[in-house]
Amino acid sequence: GIQVEQSPPDLILQEGANSTLRCNFSDSVNNLQWFHQNPWGQLINLFYIPSGTKQNGRLSATTVATERYSLLYISSSQTTDSGVYFCAVPYGNNRLAFGKGNQVVVIP
């Protein structure tokens, strides 16, 4: 199956700092999703981004499908950004492969 690797695995940020999370995948894909799981376990779909760049408030994502990676940018981080960020890509016709996540802690 397809391999999905996320880096860095853990990140501690001072409130107000910017950060970049990376997702590499081992095979061609036609879309990619980024999710945020908050400390209570709720998983929110942040971006559905096959290619190019999308922005949503302080978050933006860029996928370069030809080079098999995607980046998630967090600007002016807030404590509510804490949690785990997952990327996921489809493979076969009936699977979504998730990375192991980026654990982010934003300290005030």
Binding site for other proteins (CB under 8 A): 30-31, 33, 35, 40-45, 48, 86, 88, 90, 93-96, 98-101
Contact 48, 63 (CB under 8 A): no
Structure tokens given for 31: 């879309």
Q: Which is nearer to other proteins, 88 or 106 (CB)?
A: 88
Record the tokens describing residue 70, joined without a space. Answer: 């995607």
Distance of closest approach, residue 48 Cβ to other proteins, in angstroms: 4
> Whose Cβ is closer to other proteins: residue 45's or residue 78's?
45
Residue 79 CA to residue 35 CA, distance in Å, equals 17
Asked if residue 34 lies in contact with residue 22, where contact means CB atoms within 8 angstroms, the answer is no
Minimum distance of other proteins from residue 100's CB (angstroms): 5
Judged by beta carbon, residue 74 or residue 87, the one nearer other proteins is: 87
Run of H or E residues at 57:
none
At its nearest, how many Å lie between other proteins and the CB of residue 40?
A: 8
